[in-house]
Structure 1
Amino acid sequence: MHRVLITAAILVGLVAASSAAAAPASAEFSPAAIDAYLADAMDSTGLPGVSLVVTRGDSVVYATGAGRDSRGEAMTADSPIRIASLSKSITATAVMMLVDDGRLALDAPVVAQLPEFRMSDPRAERITVRHLLNQTSGLSDRTVDIGATDEARSLTDYVATLRTGTLGAEPGSRWAYCNVNYDIAARLVEVASGRSFGDFLRERVFGPLGMTASGTDADLSAPPGFNSLFGQWISRPDLLGFEGGGAGSVITTAADMGRWLISNTGNGPQLVTAQSLTTMHTPALHRYGMGWGTEEEGDLLVHSGNLFTYNAAQGIDPDTGYGFAVMTNSAGLADDTYPIMLGLAAMSRGETPETPGGTRGWTEVALAVTAMTALGLGVLGAIRARRWARARLGKSNWWTGARLLPALIPVLLFAGFPAVISIIMGGRTVTWAQLTYYAPLPIAVGIAGAAGLVTMVARLHQLRSVGSGE
């Protein structure tokens, strides 16, 4: 929902609208200019590998790659990439195709079309297909067992795990980003089409568009991506939960994304009616349509996607007819794909793009300084514990306990860190396993917690020693 994940989480961008008449292309927006901009972006961000595509009307302007993957191979327009939540726009299209076919009803209750969908909250019976795609169903990470959904092995199993869940709001009343919405939508596709979700995408979506290198992670694989650890990129397997769902399972390439963007601007092969395309691009609440939303400033239609070792962003400019997709095989405390995509959009309008500032590096430097400072304070606190204890002699137990609290705060923060980050992320579930993919943050907090614990233990020990006259 978000630009930069300074708190260890995952950034989700929003999008909406449909295509419009193409404006004249900027003379500065050429493959050579895009290459120069990408080189600057790679230099400023230090990303290990990037692939991107730019389209206009019914044509691919340019598709390319830079850097390398974890196997040491050059990134190109044909390198497989996990696009995470960009998958939602594809899932929404699959649902709307079945709506156009008369096999699904957008405003009918989900339970009427998917009888296996049950929750312990009676309000769930009022959730419609539209609510799922608009992220206004009332479903929330806080009210369903996300751990159980990750362990599911089929969409049928996935939906079954929701039976003990409740809703966080009345359906249709509030927007809340929740992956569960789109995984239920994928199961709806299976039931309405009589095909597995992956087969439906391959036969009805990817095939007609010529996206021959695309599929879900239940059928395809991508090389391990990278995590940033205090400025160094470390190759790691992605932290995968449920595979083959509708929320974030698609693996594709920049070349294939070009075909996807062309179709979404109303050009080339069309998978849905013009009315359905407009519906998907039109915001309902919180600038979010159906797998697309509107940029915070301007009319750009966008969506970002974040996994633990891959990030991606896509955009469509209705005013110019341009489409953009930027994908990287890495993830850190900042996602640079979205600002790179915005830079391409600016170039397409004849504007000078802002080179991404590489905030990840500065953020990790700040965290490293924080960790080292905390370590030093912990050592100092242990060394000076006896002096501190002597100064407490004769003071009330209440006052002494109050003076211990500052050392306890980082300990408590570390103990409840996933819960704290979950709150900061607006209720999205965050686990310790996930936080390890943003290691500089928990490392800094962990060192601060350890320093606080050492200081507190040393002070308590010295209080006892001084009090007994040792």
Structure 2
Amino acid sequence: MQSNRVPGLSIAIVRGDQAKSTGYGFASVKSQEPCTADTLFDIASSSKSLTAAAIALLVEDAKYSGVQYDSLMSELLPDDFVMSDELHTKTVTVDDLLGHHTGMPGHDDSYMGIRATEPDDARSITRNLRNLAVTAPPRTRYIYCNMMYTVLTHLIETKSGQQFDTFLQERIFDRLGMTSSSLQPKSARARGHDHRLAKGHIWDKKSASYREFDAVDCPEGQGAGSVISSANDFIKFLSALIDRNDPITEDVYQGLTRPRSERSANHRQRTVGIDRIFYTAGMDLYWQGEHAVLGHSGDITGFGSRFVFLPDLKFGAVVMGNSSGTNSVAAQLFREFITEVVNSDMARQQLKAVAGRDVPMKLPEVRMHPKSDSQDHPTGMAKAKGVKGKDQKRDSPEVKVVSQRTMALGAYTGDYWNPGYHNMRVEMRENELFIDATDRSMGFTARLKHRRDQSLYDAHVRDAFDTGDEVLMTEFTIEDDKVVRMGMDLEPLIRDLIWFDKVGNK
């Protein structure tokens, strides 16, 4: 925990009919509040497993017979689900959204957060799909896409007539006795759980201390994240998956664990014998020897979570923590847990008793094989560190090379508009071009540094917590000595910049 800068950690384990849990460190470093197994965390993308379970319950409910895994999204939501080309609109199914198999990249900077003048919600996120470029045909490539899980919550709300948080509460949390779980931090506070909410933490190298903050509401990201839970609560969900406890029936379980897309394992995974990883519905699936391993992770600024379960060995574990280093700790713990369980006498005995019951022992086939390696999971509110896309995009149009900028900086300032990414304002701050995009869900600021000619700049990006230093290629289009467009490398999987037209130009 210390080496990974994790101030507080909660762990719960279930093995057979026994569950144990504990906590380590502090839920808040500032107040020295101890972290326990009942401490509440934002579990980030681990929430996708619960969204997928909600969809599975909708599919298995006879009242909603029109909602099936192979149903076309454009038929279920004819007014709202329109993608940027006809092929995707007429092809993409519920299954494709669950398995990150739609061909849509993340576009994580396109959705507006609670600080925006017009914040996004599940419906507006869905309706904005038509304005966002795809990067691959449907079912040809695993591409992790947060917002498609938000779109799934819009489907749930439209068909059930309930808000997503109510559906989760009534159909999953209440039935599993997950009395401390809710959607969004504000719901946890409204239920009197404020004192149990962990603070998010960021390690500040300069001061050699933690910066601390409250968990943030993210209604525009519901379904992709934003579930608040504890280790003691979430282990009940894992137990239900393992034992098929109500509301997780056998049909619901099979729907959740069926492989939908595939990606190659990374180098570290291959060194421990994992060659192929499948995505089911809100969960990864791989094999450790003969044993199926399912799970997911979540990572946003200040919080992390990870869960895993081996269904044929009746083992599950969840780890939650209050910094982005949580998943590194969880990965080390899970390697030890899985090795111990797989090698134990109990595991070998149980394998004989339940062989073939839960998942096939041979590798399954998905409908189409991916054409490239995996897309890493987005990190949530924080933008990734490092240089992105500078050598991947096309360079600027052929222009006379000028070593010095000659146009006045004021010529570049103003509002720029893109239908999918909305407004981006360039202003002057400390004699530099500056963008304040903290109104976005994954908010950031950018200082634009001149690179070459009159048009090429590097945007030095820091997230809303003033951490990181990502460098994005930025290009301005100049016509008749006027700046008319700005392009930014906001989506690395698109083979072009995201272009914004300058507002007010005729």
Q: Which category of TM-score, normalised to the shorter sequence, fits these structures?
A: 0.5 to 0.7
Decide which of 226, 230, 234 is 1:257's aligned counterpart.
234
CA distance in 2, matches of 1:440, 1:201: 34
Cα distance in 1 for partners of 2:216, 2:127 equals 22
| Correspondence for 2:280 | 289
Structure 1 pair 146–64 and aligned structure 2 pair: CA distance change class (3 A): same
Distance between the aligned counterparts of 1:437 and 1:344, measured in 2?
A: 36
Q: Which residue of 1 aligns with 2:320?
A: 327
- SS of the residue aligned with 2:224? coil
* 8 Å contact from structure 2 (residues 44, 300) kept in 1: yes
Kept after mapping to 1: 8 A contact 2:302/2:323: yes
Checking the alignment, whether the CA contact within 8 Å between 2:240 and 2:248 is kept in structure 1 is no
Relative to structure 1, is the Cα distance of residues 282 and 324 closer, same or farther in structure 2, using a 3 angstrom cutoff? same
Report the alpha carbon displacement of residue 289 of structure 1 after superposing the two structures with TM: 0.6
> Alignment partner of 1:118: what SS?
coil
Offset of residue 239 of structure 1: 6.0
**Larger displacement relative to structure 2 (164-173 or 174-183):** 164-173
Show CA shifts across 1:404-438 (max 9, x none): xxxxxxxxxxx99xxxxxxxxxxxx8955884478
SS at match of 1:167: coil
Contact 1:228 1:331 in 2 (8 A): no
Which residue does 1:67 correspond to in 2?
A: 25
Where in structure 2 are the equivalents of 1:212-227 lying within 5 Å?
212-217=179-184, 219-221=187-189, 222-227=197-202
> Where does the alignment leave 5 or more consecutive residues of structure 1 unmatched?
1-41, 352-366, 368-400, 402-414, 417-428, 447-470
Could you tell me which of 180, 204, 222 is aligned with 1:245?
222
Within 2, Cα distance between the matches of 1:171 and 1:291?
18
User: Residues 333 and 321 (structure 1 numbering): CA distance in 2 closer, same or farther, change over 3 Å?
Assistant: closer
Q: Is the 8 A contact 1:239 1:308 kept in 2?
A: no
TM-score using structure 1 length: 0.63
1:124 equivalenced with 2:89 (yes/no): yes
More moved, 300-309 vs 145-154: 145-154
Equivalent residue runs for 1:17-166 within 5 Å = 42-60=1-19, 62-70=20-28, 71-102=31-62, 103=64, 104-119=67-82, 120-122=84-86, 123-142=88-107, 145-147=110-112, 152-166=119-133
Q: Secondary structure at the match of 1:65?
A: strand
- Aligned residue number for residue 278 of structure 1: 254
Structure 1 match to 2:300: 307
What is the CA–CA distance in structure 2 between the aligned matches of 1:118 and 1:131, rounded to whole Å? Answer: 13
The aligned amino acid for 2:320 is: M
Distance in 2 separating the partners of 1:144 and 1:175: 20
Q: Which piece of structure 1 moves more, 148-157 or 46-55?
A: 148-157
Q: Alignment length, in residue pairs?
A: 337
- Higher deviation after alignment, 113-122 or 196-205: 113-122
After superposition, the Cα gap between the structure-2 partners of 1:437 and 1:228, relative to the gap in structure 1 and judged at 3 Å, is farther
Measured at CA, do residues 341 and 152 of structure 1 come closer, stay the same or move farther in structure 2, by a change above 3 Å? farther
Q: Distance in 2 between matches of 1:276 and 1:226?
A: 36
* Aligned residues with identical type, % of pairs: 29
Q: Which residue number in structure 1 is paired with residue 469 of structure 2?
A: 442
Residues 1:198 and 1:341: Cα distance change in structure 2 (over 3 Å): same
**Corresponding residue to 1:345 among 338, 341, 345:** 338
Change (3 A) 1:350 1:45: farther
- Residue 305 to residue 296, structure 1, CA distance change in 2 (3 Å): farther
Q: Please state how far the C-alpha of 1:251 moved relative to its aligned partner.
A: 0.3
Taking the aligned partners of 2:158 and 2:17, their CA distance within structure 1 comes to 33
2:21–2:37 CA contact under 8 A, matched in 1:
yes
Q: Which has the higher strand share?
A: 2
Cα 1:53–1:81 change in 2 (3 A) is same
Correspondence 1:193 to 2:160? yes
In the other structure, the counterpart of 2:141 is 174
Larger Rg: 1
Shift of 1:345: 2.6
Q: Give the secondary structure class of the aligned counterpart of 1:176.
A: coil
- SS at 2:33's partner residue? coil
Deviation, 1:238, is 4.7
Please tell me whether the aligned partners of residues 218 and 226 of structure 2 are also in contact (alpha carbons under 8 angstroms).
no
Unpaired stretches in structure 2, ≥5 consecutive residues: 190-196, 263-277, 345-384, 386-402, 404-432, 435-441, 447-460, 473-506
For the structure 1 residues 152 and 277, does the alpha-carbon distance in structure 2 shift closer, same or farther, using more than 3 Å as the test? farther
If asked which structure has higher relative contact order (CA below 8 Å, sep 6+), I would say 1
| CA distance in structure 2 between the aligned counterparts of 1:282 and 1:435, rounded to whole angstroms | 39
| Shift, 1:228, TM fit | 1.8
Q: Distance in 1 between matches of 2:236 and 2:313?
A: 17
